[in-house]
């Protein structure tokens, strides 16, 4: 008798060779860890036409999506089991998850934020041709300053590991930057001029800007804002977290990060030194 573990493994493999191409206009937010993906997600989700989940799906990463302990977009176990039965591959499954969330939240479009999905951008661009992708990026040295105090980011425990991972994420972004369905957002621009930058993003999404999107009274409704690592979500958007690396990193750490990721820092317009 074939075990459930083996069946799930085989189904994971077969589902990752999609038979379907999505026709839905989802919104994907992605980027290297601690680049501002959560901030951007909460701002965009404050729009009445956009529905999402505070829980990262990670659907397109190398996980067992049939693990009974997995939760997708805060849907309950019975809903997930039903969606498994309705779906035939990972693209179809994602679309069905999105439809369930939109039905629950009432929005017209589904927004999904998983930072590491930036590493799956070629796959996502191919199988979600109607979707729009927003990649937010930030000075990698500031990202590391934030990541090393974050228990949920394993690369943050080691400067070299984080720099190499950040570089990998940026390289994936740079390869896809000419695609018409992808928009790059610089964290520093967003925190310097939030209204201007969000208006630019909403033009890309072909949605009307809503002033509530930059009002912390609305975007701080995200329950993660009460976690220490997301405390900034309860405050006005300001540039206070820019250039942390100049104060928090030693000269040796700065030099090491620069040597590991100088090409990528320069490509994004960041000063080396």
Name the strands in the sheet holding 50-52, side by side, starting at the edge strand that comes first in the sequence: 50-52, 109-113, 27-30, 132-137, 182-186
Backbone φ and ψ of 91, nearest 5°? -70, -45
Report pLDDT digits (tens) over 203-213. Answer: 999 999 999 89
Question: 172 CB contacts (<8 Å, ≥6 apart)?
Answer: 118, 119, 121
Q: Pinpoint the alpha helices (H) of 51-113.
A: 77-86, 90-105
Which residue do the tokens 């309860």 mark? 234
- pLDDT tens for residues 142-184? 999 999 988 889 999 999 999 999 999 999 999 999 999 999 9
Give the H/E segment covering residue 53.
none
Q: What percent of the chain has pLDDT over 90?
A: 71
The full set of domains in the chain, from first to last, is 4-137+181-231 (3.40.50.300), 139-177+243-273 (no CATH)
| Cα 144 from Cα 125, distance rounded (Å) | 28
Q: What is the pLDDT of residue 134?
A: 98
Q: Residues near 223 by Cβ (< 8 Å), separated by ≥ 6?
A: 54
Cβ atoms within 10 Å of 168's Cβ, excluding its own = 17
Task: Dump pLDDT digits (tens) for 41-74.
Answer: 999 998 999 998 878 888 998 778 887 566 788 8
Q: The whole model's pTM is what?
A: 0.91
């Amino acid at each position: 008798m074939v075990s459930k573990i083996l069946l799930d493994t085989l189904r994971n493999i077969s589902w990752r060779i999609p038979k379907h191409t999505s026709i839905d206009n989802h919104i994907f937010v992605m980027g290297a860890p601690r680049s501002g993906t959560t901030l951007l997600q909460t701002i965009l989700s404050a729009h009445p036409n956009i529905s999402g989940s505070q829980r990262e799906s990670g659907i397109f990463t190398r996980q067992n999506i049939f693990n009974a302990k997995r939760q997708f977009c805060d849907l309950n176990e019975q809903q997930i089991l039903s969606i498994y039965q309705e779906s035939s591959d990972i693209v179809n499954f994602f679309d069905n998850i999105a439809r369930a969330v939109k039905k629950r939240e009432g929005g017209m479009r589904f927004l999904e934020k998983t930072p590491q999905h930036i590493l799956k951008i070629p796959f996502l661009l191919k199988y979600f041709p109607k979707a729009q992708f927003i990649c937010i990026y930030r000075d990698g040295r500031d990202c590391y300053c934030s990541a090393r105090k974050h228990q949920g980011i394993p690369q943050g425990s080691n400067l070299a590991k984080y720099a190499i991972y950040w570089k990998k994420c940026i390289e994936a972004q740079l390869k896809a930057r000419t695609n018409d369905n992808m928009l790059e957002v610089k964290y520093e621009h967003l925190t310097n001029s939030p209204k201007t930058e969000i208006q630019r993003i909403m033009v890309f999404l072909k949605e009307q800007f809503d002033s509530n999107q930059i009002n912390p009274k609305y975007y701080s409704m995200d329950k993660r804002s009460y976690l220490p690592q997301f405390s900034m979500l309860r405050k006005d958007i300001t540039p206070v977290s820019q250039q942390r690396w100049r104060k928090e990193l030693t000269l040796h750490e700065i030099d090491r990060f620069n040597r590991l990721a100088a090409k990528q820092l320069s490509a994004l317009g960041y000063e080396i030194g």
